[in-house]
Structure formats: structure tokens, C-alpha cells
Amino acid sequence: MSVFDRLRGHEEVVFVNEPSVGLRAIVAIYSTALGPSCGGTRFRPYASEDAALADVLDLSQAMAYKTACAGLDLGGGKAVIIGDPARDKTEALLLAYADCLQSLGGRYYTACDVGTYVEDMDVLAQRCDFVTGGSPSHGGAGDSSILTAVGVFAAMRAAAAHVWGEASLAGRRVAIEGAGKVGSRLAAHLLGDGASVVITDVDDAAVARVAGVDVVAPDALLDEPMDVFAPCALGGSLSVDSVGRLSARIVCGGANNQLATPDVAQLLADRNIAYVPDFVANAGGIIQVGAEICGYSEADARAKTEAIFDTTRDVLAAADSEGLLPERVAEQRAEARMRSIKRP
């Protein structure tokens, strides 16, 4: 299959190669129908270039759905840098990457993602005007994972209201896969709401930083008794096999592209598990990005993030009434908005 055959309506895919600094990156712009595309830069040691391309194509499409469902006048894009951030990330590499982003002329705005942080955005901003999520001291709004966790918690409360009739996780047990930037903050929200939390991560140090939770090995989490499963690590953790092990009634988390294959959505429905589409639940970060591009107001960004509660409630209710999967309901709404408000 050629590269063009793999595109699903993507407007532009840019391959970046700068051997002098070890930079290999891919920027994918899925849609600018509603505005400039936005999405984080992921820095990962991908198993292959093919895996990196597959990831950036999937993530950029999901970002377009995410911005549309969140009511933002932004499109969807994503970028990946191939390499181990602990070993390969250098100032020279980041500045070369910034030059590439600048050359796109504002068609793509970037922010933090897996393997990139606020400090990296500050470096990019030295040479690129289309960077968000930098530190407040450098004119940015800071770490977008803070609002991402707020949004996931709001979506989870809405799902709880849908399933159990009460918008609270008090007395429920939530299993969080991933103790990174979003997972650790989500745990704090849940504990504050009266939930009990069991968490896992491949990084023992990350788990150790999360207080007040039970900890299990990564391969044991799915077999834990739980009311809610929250995927907050990398995508694809929900497979036919893994869903068969879940005792949860709700799946709602911060990871992107949680379903390993499309048929998993139907399997979740068949098992009476309410699934909140990831691009609905984890939109808090992109809401912050949108607010920063348009003139940042923390209160406004938080209010729009809290509104993920209403979006989630509406999507789950429509899925029941229309006999559709929640993911398909959310996709249809996003696609309809992109068609109806497309810029000239």
C-alpha cells in the first residue's frame, strides 16, 4: 500500500529529515476546515517508521474530531518525532523541528504530548510562532495535561450519571492505566471525589509519585475488580482480549486512540460497558490550546473543559436512543460540523 493510499482525507503530511541533529519527524494535517490544525508533538522510540506514520495519521484524524466535538474553531493535526526522548532530545534537534513548523505558516499549531514537556515548547517558541503550552514565564499557558485531566474527570462523572444515575465516583473503584501527566492528575480528582483508585505504569518512578492509590503490575490491572477503567497511557490498549477481562461498567480515559481495532467498540457495547470516546473525554488539553491561540483566559478554558460533562452525557444518551455506538455518534457530530462550517 502506498503512502497516498493510507491517507483518509488528510490534507497534508510532511516528512522532516535533518541528519545533522538526528531529527526524523512526521507532521500530519488532517483538516483545516474549521481553522488551523492543532495537536501535540509526540516523541517516541517507534519500532519502525511505518509505525510512526500509522500513529500520526490516526492521531491527527482524532484531533480533528476532538476539536469539532469541543466546539472549537480549529482543525486537527499531530506530529511525531522518532527517537528516544531521554537519549535523543537536544536543543539543536528541537530548534530544527521548530524551523519545520514555522515553514508551515500557521497551518499547524503544536503543544506537548507524550515525550515532550513545557520546557520543550519554550525551546520551540524561540524559532516558531505556532507553539502553545509553553511556560507562563515565556508567555504560554503551561501544561495542558492539567485541563486534560479535568475534562476526563468531567466525562467520567457524566458516564457515572448515565450508568448509575449519579454524577459522582464516590464509592466506586477506578483502575487507571498510566501514571503520567494525565493519569496522576486524574487520580487526585477521583480520590477527592471519594473513589478508590488502583493504578499501574511501566515506569515505577511515575507510580511512586501518586499518593493514596493501590498499585499493581501492568499485566495485572485488567483483572482487578473495578467499576471504571481509565486508559491514560499509549493507545490501543483496548483489544478483543483485554475487553474480555474487564469487570468495569464504564471505560473513560485520557489516552488517544484507545481501541486497538474498530470491532472493539461493538464488543464494549455487547458487554454493556459504556464507552466514552477518547476524543470527547480528553479534549481539555486542546481546549487550552485553542484558548491560548485566541487570547488565553484560564476561567474560560476551564468552563469549556467542564462542558465536556454535557457533551459526554448527550453522546451517551443519543447512542442509546438511536441504537448507535457512542463513538459513531461523536464521529457523526464532528463530521457534520466540519461540513457545515467549512471555511471558504
Phi, psi angle pair for 201, to nearest 5°: -165, 150
Gap between the Cα atoms of 202 and 321, Å rounded: 40
Catalytic residue list: 78
Confidence at residue 138, expressed as pLDDT on a 0 to 100 scale: 85
Query: Of the candidates 114, 140, 119, 148, which has an alpha carbon nearest to the alpha carbon of residue 44?
Result: 114
Q: Residue 238 corresponds to which cell in the numbers above? A: 483496548
Residues 245-270 have a mean pLDDT of 96
Q: Residue 90 corresponds to which cell in the numbers above? A: 537536544
| Cβ atoms 160, 168 nearer than 8 A | yes
Confidence at residue 294, expressed as pLDDT on a 0 to 100 scale: 79
pLDDT tens profile 96-117: 999 999 999 999 999 999 999 9
Q: How confident is the model at residue 140 (pLDDT cuts 50, 70, 90)?
A: confident
Gap between the Cα atoms of 10 and 91, Å rounded: 30
Confidence at residue 141, expressed as pLDDT on a 0 to 100 scale: 84
Q: Residue 16 corresponds to which cell in the numbers above? A: 522532516
User: What is the side-by-side strand order in the sheet with 250-251?
Assistant: 214-215, 196-200, 173-177, 228-231, 250-251, 274-275
CA distances for 91 relative to 57, 100, 176, 288, angstroms = 26, 14, 33, 25
Query: Of the candidates 152, 155, 160, which has an alpha carbon nearest to the alpha carbon of residue 180?
Result: 152
Query: Of the candidates 246, 278, 256, which has an alpha carbon nearest to the alpha carbon of residue 156?
Result: 278
Burial class (CB within 10 angstroms; exposed 0-12, middle 13-18, buried 19+) of 50: exposed
Confidence at residue 309, expressed as pLDDT on a 0 to 100 scale: 98
The type of residue at 162 is H
Q: For cell 480515559, name the residue.
A: 253
Gap between the Cα atoms of 123 and 75, Å rounded: 24
Confidence at residue 5, expressed as pLDDT on a 0 to 100 scale: 81
Identify the residue with better confidence: 296 or 73.
Answer: 73
How do strand 196-200 and strand 228-231 relate by DSSP bridges? Answer: unpaired
pTM for the whole structure = 0.89
Gap between the Cα atoms of 309 and 333, Å rounded: 16
**Quick check: 245 pLDDT over 90?**
yes
Mean pLDDT lowest for which of 68-77, 154-163, 335-344? 335-344
What would you report as the CA-atom Rg of the chain, rounded to the nearest whole angstrom? Answer: 19
Residues 121-125 have a mean pLDDT of 97
Residues 314-339 have a mean pLDDT of 96
Query: Of the candidates 52, 66, 46, which has an alpha carbon nearest to the alpha carbon of residue 111?
Result: 66
Gap between the Cα atoms of 318 and 315, Å rounded: 5
E-strand stretches of 154-277: 173-177, 196-200, 214-215, 228-231, 250-251, 274-275
Phi, psi angle pair for 76, to nearest 5°: -125, 130
**Quick check: 76 pLDDT over 60?**
yes
Confidence at residue 68, expressed as pLDDT on a 0 to 100 scale: 95
Identify the residue with better confidence: 42 or 297.
Answer: 42
The gap from C-alpha 117 to its chain's centroid, in whole angstroms, comes to 15
